[in-house]
Structure 1
Amino acid sequence: MKGDSIRDLITIESENGEQLSFEVEALFDMEGKSYALLRSDEQTVLMRVKEGKSGQQLIQISDQSEKESLLDAYQIAVAASPAE
């Protein structure tokens, strides 16, 4: 990630306990659920945002077709309303 970024940063612990840092690329809702698109130099990750008693939690999306549908919808929305 570049040092001059203005995006929010988040740290996630991987399944093997490794700390991974990501920039929050986008937060969006679809079909009543909230999602976060996270990006690092090495990867882009899409996760579900779940409200819990202790705040928000990020939940991994294991269904590949759900991920693809979400990313397709996100790309269509961005193309229809590009940032300046």
Structure 2
Amino acid sequence: MEPNEVRDQITIEDEQGHMKDYAVEALFDMEDHSYALLTSNEETILMRVEDEEDEQYLVGITDPEERDSILEAYEIAVEANPAEE
């Protein structure tokens, strides 16, 4: 993927009601859950994808241990199977 190529975009409303745009860097499954790795110009966040009836929504991960273990496992998986350039 080219550095300036547009990826899928998502808009998230934060706790203060501010809307922020993120690029979807990755969607992956781990430990019976689905996750989305999102980036903006200022930050990278990890969110869990929840299913309810026929809809999906994102939930923030508040437990730092959960977040860190998922990100560590994701990094190991990416290193083991790098994307083709």
Q: Which amino acid aligns with 1:16?
A: Q
State how far apart, in whole Å, the 1-side matches of 2:53 and 2:11 are. Answer: 20
What does residue 49 of structure 2 align with? 49
Q: Which residue of 2 aligns with 1:38?
A: 38
Q: CA deviation at 1:53?
A: 2.9
Equivalent residue letter for 2:33: K
Structure 2: gaps (5+ residues): none
Tell me what 2:74 maps to: 74
TM-score (normalizing by structure 2): 0.91
In structure 1, the gaps of 5 or more residues are none
Residue-pair matches, total: 81
1:71 positional shift: 0.4
Paired with 2:47 and 2:17, the residues of 1 have a C-alpha distance of 18
Q: Runs of at least 4 residues of structure 1 off by over 2 A?
A: none
RMSD: 1.0
Q: Quote the sequence identity (%).
A: 54
